[in-house]
Amino acid sequence: MKQEIEKAEKLNTMGELAASIAHEVRNPLTVVKGFLQLMQKDDKDHHFSYIPLVLSELGRAEVIINDYLNFAKPEFKKLEHFSLSQILSEVCMLLNALAVKQGVELKWGGTEEAFLFTDRNQLKQALVNVIKNAIEATPGGGTVTVALSLSGDRAVVSITDTGNGMTPEQLSRIGTLFYTTKEKGTGLGTTVSVKIIESMQGKISFKSETGKGTEVTLRLPLHNKVNINY
Ligand code: ADP
Ligand code: MG
């Protein structure tokens, strides 16, 4: 049975989200600091044994930060008129390395063009998180397809994978802060994507069937009229 849900409000603000994430990052950093203090106090020869733990905790902090702000630059709030197909190409090119590594074919063959007026780095972040999940859910030999179409005053981006899919229970939890089924997951990617898309007056919905795959649909307001005033 196909299950579909529309992600509704119920999510906290970007500020609250940032606070929760800062809290999550603090844990591995506290561990690293503790180890370094131990190493400093006790300058005997067994220092090296701490290094793998220190690196693993720093890696954890890095993953959390990446899921939250891969593309966040100082000009985080810069609004621009830009080509959505261009952004999709850039994101797919970036994630192709990950797809190849997993033996997954990442297909992007958009012929439609759509222009948006929003923060392009935030949009990239939202797309990366969703497409990365699709690749991660797909076993070798599978496909992830990214497509762009137009519907009224909306650009519609669909990300379809032939991966493991989700049960209705899993589907109902997607987008919940820190919900993950992965051993090294953060449970941040989807929450951040939903928050970003909604802040752009867009909508994100998930359709999934276990054993068949998942389709994520993003609807974003078009801004095709080029206005000379900005
Ligand atoms: P993470 O990727 O760190 O686990 P996310 O918030 O990005 O955190 O995703 C949360 C969970 O949602 C994943 O652990 C996975 O179980 C599920 N999920 C997300 N996208 C897909 C997908 N395309 N197919 C199957 N499951 C998915
Ligand atoms: Mg993820």
* Residue among 104, 146, 190, 205 to mutate when testing ligand 1 (max atoms within 8 A of CB): 190
- Work out which ligand 1 atom sits closest to the CA atom of 161: 23
Ligand 1 centroid, distance to 41 Cα (angstroms): 42
Place of tokens 């990239």: 124
Spatial contact of 191 and 207, defined as CB atoms under 8 Å apart: no
Q: Report whether 155 contacts 110 (CB < 8 A).
A: no
Closest residue CA from atom 16 of ligand 1? 181
Residue nearest to atom 7 of ligand 1 (CA): 189
d(CA 159, CA 219): 12
Q: Which of 184, 191, 188, 181 is nearest to 57 (CA)?
A: 184
Q: Could you tell me the pTM of the whole model?
A: 0.85
Cβ–Cβ under 8 Å, residues 189 and 180:
no
The Cα 35–Cα 184 span in angstroms is 21
Residues 6+ apart with CB under 8 A from 2: 207, 208, 209
Is there an atom of ligand 1 within 6 Å of 180 CB?
Answer: yes
Complex ipTM value: 0.99
- Torsional sign, CA 228, 88, 152, 218: negative
How many whole angstroms separate alpha carbon 103 and alpha carbon 105?
7
What string of pLDDT tens digits covers the 230 residues of the chain?
344 444 333 345 667 778 888 888 898 999 999 888 888 887 666 677 888 889 999 999 988 888 887 655 545 568 999 999 999 999 999 999 999 999 999 999 877 899 999 999 899 999 999 999 999 999 999 999 999 999 999 999 999 999 999 999 999 999 999 999 999 899 999 999 999 999 899 999 999 999 999 999 999 999 976 554 44
Q: Indicate which ligand has the atom closest to the C-alpha of 192.
A: 1
